[in-house]
Amino acid sequence: MSIVSTIGEKCKKCYACIKSCPAHAIKVKDGKASVISFRCISCGHCTTVCSQNAKVVLSYFSELKNDIASAEIDALVAPSFVVSFLDVGLKLVSVLKALGFKNVYEVGFGADLVTLAYKKYLSENKGKTIIATPCPAIVKYVQKYEPSIIDLLAPIVSPMVASARVAKRINPRGRTAFIGPCIAKIDEKNNYNRDIDYSITFEELKLWIVENKIDIEKLDAVDFDPPKAHLGAIYPVAGGLLKCAEKNEDVLDDETIVTEGKDRVLMVLDSIKKGALDGKFIDMLFCLGCIEGPKICSELNYFEKKSKMADYIKNRASESSKERWDKEIEKYKDIDLSVRFESEEVSDIKEANSAEIKKILVEMGKTQPKDELNCGACGYPSCRAKARAIIAGLAEKEMCLPYVIEKLEENVNLLQHSNLMLKSTQNELIQKEKLVSLGQMAAGVAHEINNPLGTVLLYAHMLNEQIENEEMKEDVKTIITEINRTKEIITGMLNFSRENKLSIIEFDFSGFISELCAKPHHDYASIGINASVKLNCPPDIKIEADSTALSQVFTNLISNAKDALVEAKRNPGIIRVTVEKHEEELVILLTDNGTGIPKDKMPKLFTPFFTTKGYGKGTGLGLPVVYGIIKMHRGKITVDSVFGESTTFKIILPLKSAIGAGLLG
């Protein structure tokens, strides 16, 4: 049964899911990225990066809604509800009962029981390396891809299963429904059908509340039904299990390892397999804690979420009765929490030989090492990794951005033979992997060129008929305007189609950005407004990047900001450029107090040929070029705007570049 699947018509060839998948469980066919169910570990990372909502998750939501009126169903709520339902708090219990749930239990109590099981297991297995198992994605990854270390998995069920068994002890005829932020829990539910009858996400619960028009304001805040949790509610935060088990993580103590996030988890598992770690108790979460689960539904950042969880735990601890909790633990401590994990080994992808790889590279126009740009636009870390995926049947040549560009240039040449006489171009074309494709670009070019040429043709006929008419001059002006617009579109397209290779050097970014912000052509007095660029940048920042390409990025963004100030007639008009240096990356914020961007226009900003400017004032290629350059640098760019007030572009760039350094091949 596939937990995650793809809606083919929504897939836009961005290949972001390939980059995010730790299990190589994404296969591309006919340009559509689908999930290979037997390889998938249900971590849900692909769903979080899919901006088109093309990834869908197996749901028990409809089944639960249908059964709630006729069956006794208890809700098992994950502790991370605290950061998903900020405005609801403990009214959530009343909300769930209003929806029809009989009892509402907190999974934190199950975590308390699981903690006792860990304490006992650790004391009985001193000296043995043990991998904690509350995270089902970790368990599934080991079962499928590291079965040689499967005996290191602690044979203890997750808090979800433990709390379900408590609920079944209380009401053997009742049913249980887990509610949380984790997609992997849906897969885990299928492995424990006797304990868990339904599993839905916080996202689905919010939808249910809206559908039923629950008036939260009229409800009272009531506590969870007993048994109530103690410290188990802190499990969603990395190291929560250790806190409950009263084990400390010390930098000088290699007995305990705590980590989170798929990249670090995979590194730890690889080191364990190689025998390179001395850790005896290893607590890992595939997400950055359950508070960062794929269906957490919260606008808070990571640290704000941790803070909210900490406040909740402190309040719960102060309000709870330790004596009552001890009695509840004593009452349920005999529940069987043991489990045996079996291997579900997935055979490795067939390793291609060098001759096969070379053949594929040549077919993509990469005849020598310098042609291997390793841009990552296809979702794979290097051109050779992409070639191996093609040989294994997981990828297609058309996923390669430079390859698509080459095909696009062939179509441009065909347009030249149709009397458009487009000049051949070798300029760099950088485009967002989820927006650019041969079909999109060809359609965009044809649309934008045919419209003005159609107008030229129309007025040419009118001129022919009215050559003696006094209105002839106005018609000629119209023809000239349309010709100029055509030339501008063609020129913009050629600039957009520049050669996709960066020239990476280390340079002084502080001086670079200072010089750009102080350029004479940004003297705003000359355009009749009181405006300025205010730069806040630490000195002596070094970065490895293509300075020419980045110059184009910031020139475009500052120019757009200037246009927004002019249109808004701000006095004063301010463009703020703030640079922050972090451990491994550079964050640049560019904010203007101009017109802002309408909400309905935001999703289209980086689409080729889309512009918010008036007719004839823009080609719609500036921001796609900016996006492409940032992506080629392995960076990120996002936009936040309040219509009528301000717009902020946030750019994140790595300080050290791996492009062309032989690190990814």
Q: Residue 293: helix, strand or coil by DSSP?
A: coil
Token digits for 491?
A: 């020129």
Written as six digits, the tokens of 203 are 């996202």
Residue 264 lies in a domain: yes
Mean pLDDT per 10-residue interval, the chain, length 665 residues: 85 84 86 87 90 89 94 94 86 94 93 90 88 92 92 94 95 94 91 93 93 91 90 75 58 68 90 82 87 88 88 72 83 93 83 81 82 79 82 79 72 57 36 43 54 61 62 67 61 50 88 84 60 90 90 88 83 89 93 89 76 59 81 89 92 81 35
pLDDT value at residue 465: 63
**Is 337 inside a domain boundary?**
no
For residue 638, the SS3 value is strand
Residue 63 placed within a domain: no
Which CATH number goes with the domain that contains 521? 3.30.565.10
* Sole residue written with tokens 């079965």: 147
3-state secondary structure of 455: helix
Taking the C-alpha atoms of residue 20 and residue 16, their distance in angstroms, rounded to an integer, is: 6
Q: What is the dihedral of CA 514, 517, 519, 525, to 10 degrees?
A: -140
SS3 28: strand
DSSP secondary structure, 508-545, as one string: EHHHHHHHHHT-GGG-GGGGTS-EEEEEE--SS-EEEE
| Residue 419 shares a structural domain with residue 325 | no
CA 588 to CA 553: how far, in whole Å?
12
581 and 535 share a domain?
yes
Could you tell me if 328 and 472 lie in one domain? no
Distance of CA 37 to CAs 25, 40, 187, 346, 350, Å? 7, 5, 11, 11, 18
Cα angle: 574, vertex 575, 581; to 5 degrees: 135
Contact of 544 with 656, CB cutoff 8 Å: yes
Tell me, yes or no, whether 386 and 407 share the same domain: no
Question: String of b and e for 44-79 (b: at least 16 CB within 10 Å)?
Answer: bbbbbbbeeebbbbbbbbeebbebbeeeebbbbbbb
Q: How far apart are CA 107 and CA 235, in angstroms?
A: 10
- Give the pairing type, strands 130-131 and 281-285: parallel
479 shares its domain with 433: yes
Report if residue 162 sits inside a domain. yes
Distance, CA of 89 to CA of 81 (rounded, Å): 8
Domain that holds residue 643: 505-654
CATH number, domain of 283, equals: 3.40.50
- Check residue 340 and give its pLDDT: 93
Does the pTM surpass 0.75? The reply is: no
Among residues 202, 207, 367, the alpha carbon closest in space to that of 293 is found at 202
d(CA 152, CA 271): 13
Q: Is 444 helix (H, G, I), strand (E, B) or coil?
A: helix
In this structure, are 39 and 83 located in the same domain? no
- Residue 302 domain flag: no
Query: What CATH number is associated with residue 356?
Result: 1.10.15
342 lies in a domain? no
Are 515 and 553 within one domain?
yes
pLDDT value of position 426: 38
How many domains would you assign to the chain? 5
pLDDT, tens digit (0-9, with 9 covering 90-100), for 580-601: 999 899 999 999 998 898 888 8
85/196 same-domain check:
yes
Last residue of one domain, picked from the residues 498, 522, 541: 498
Which pLDDT value is given to residue 367? 81
Structure tokens at 185: 């829990």
562 shares a domain with 640: yes
Domain boundary among 369, 396, 423: 396
Residue 184's Cβ-count burial label (10 Å; 0-12, 13-18, 19+) is: buried
pLDDT at 318: 63
606: left (phi over 0), alpha (psi -120 to 50) or beta: alpha
CATH of the domain at 24: 3.30.70.20
Q: Whole-number mean pLDDT of the chain? A: 81
Residue 384 falls inside a structural domain:
yes
pLDDT (0 to 100) of residue 591 = 94
Which residue carries 């703030």 as its tokens?
A: 578
Q: Which of 21, 36, 58 is the last residue of a domain?
A: 58
Give the pair of three-digit tokens for residue 436. 């650019």
* CA nearest neighbour of 590 among 554, 565, 543: 554
**485 within a domain of the structure (yes/no):** yes
Domain identity same for 116 and 25: no
Report pLDDT digits (tens) over 452-469.
665 665 665 566 566 666
Residue 314 corresponds to which amino acid? K
Same-domain check for residues 322 and 462: no
Q: Are residues 117 and 5 in the same domain?
A: no
